[in-house]
Amino acid sequence: MSPDQQLLLWINQGWAHPALDGFMIWVSSKPTFSQPLLLILGLLFIWRYRLHNGFKLWICLLLTVGLGDLLGYAIKHLSEIARPCFDLVELVRQPQNPAGGACGDGLHGLPSNHTLDFTAATVFVILATRRLDWGLTMVIVTVSVALSRIYLGKHYPSQVLLGFALGIGVAYASVLLYRRFLPFFNQLDSPAANRDEK
């Protein structure tokens, strides 16, 4: 068994606990976690940078995450590397699917799109807002989501690590483009754009 598989099973089986099952299922859910978080970030941007700049910043975030998501799906179909819940179906715990069998997320698992998307959002927030409190919160959220994908048997650790790397790259490239072509992006720290400045 490879180190990747061993680490997967250590997290997937060794950490098993009913309370952790519920938490990991929740942070992996798009309707009850990812989408509300995006709305909260939009409201925070509008509160911090006023309606005009805050809304534009939120659209930039959505474009960044969307670009990362598309890239992840393209690589999945090129790589055709299976998820552990398909690859090790007899060994992997599936808290979301207690009956076992196929995990229902599509066969291909490289990279983890959840990890890619959350990493892209986190790096974007850090680079765009330069707020330590928001950045640290997003880092904690992203690590939790990444661990949930391994814990739930949806991705190998290597697939999650590639998600981290791609998310960083997508966010960094996006912010460079925004700073080059969107004048408002470079003015977010100015008193006129920032509600905290008087």
- 25-49: b or e for each residue (b if 16 or more CB lie within 10 Å)? bebbeeeebbeebbeebbebbbebb
- C-alpha to C-alpha distance for 27 and 44, rounded to whole angstroms: 20
Q: Write the CATH number for 109.
A: 1.20.144
Strand extents, DSSP E, 61-190:
none
Is 162 a domain residue? yes
- C-alpha to C-alpha distance for 111 and 69, rounded to whole angstroms: 10
- C-alpha to C-alpha distance for 24 and 99, rounded to whole angstroms: 18
- C-alpha to C-alpha distance for 44 and 41, rounded to whole angstroms: 5
- C-alpha to C-alpha distance for 115 and 145, rounded to whole angstroms: 7
Is 91 a domain residue? yes
Number of structural domains (the chain) is 1
Choice among 60-69, 81-90, 91-100, 121-130 with the minimum mean pLDDT: 91-100
Contact yes or no for 65/117 (Cβ under 8 A): yes
Q: Residue 173 pLDDT more than 60? A: yes
Is 197 a domain residue? no
Is 119 a domain residue? yes
List residues bridging with 108 in a β-sheet.
Answer: 82
Percent of all residues in the chain with a pLDDT value above 90, rounded to a whole number: 81
At residue 159, the pLDDT reads 97
* Residue 189 pLDDT grade (very low, low, confident, very high; cuts 50, 70, 90): confident
- C-alpha to C-alpha distance for 148 and 34, rounded to whole angstroms: 13
At residue 25, the pLDDT reads 95
Contact yes or no for 46/54 (Cβ under 8 A): yes
At residue 198, the pLDDT reads 47
Contact yes or no for 172/30 (Cβ under 8 A): no
Residue 59 belongs to domain spanning: 3-185
Is 37 a domain residue? yes
At residue 106, the pLDDT reads 79
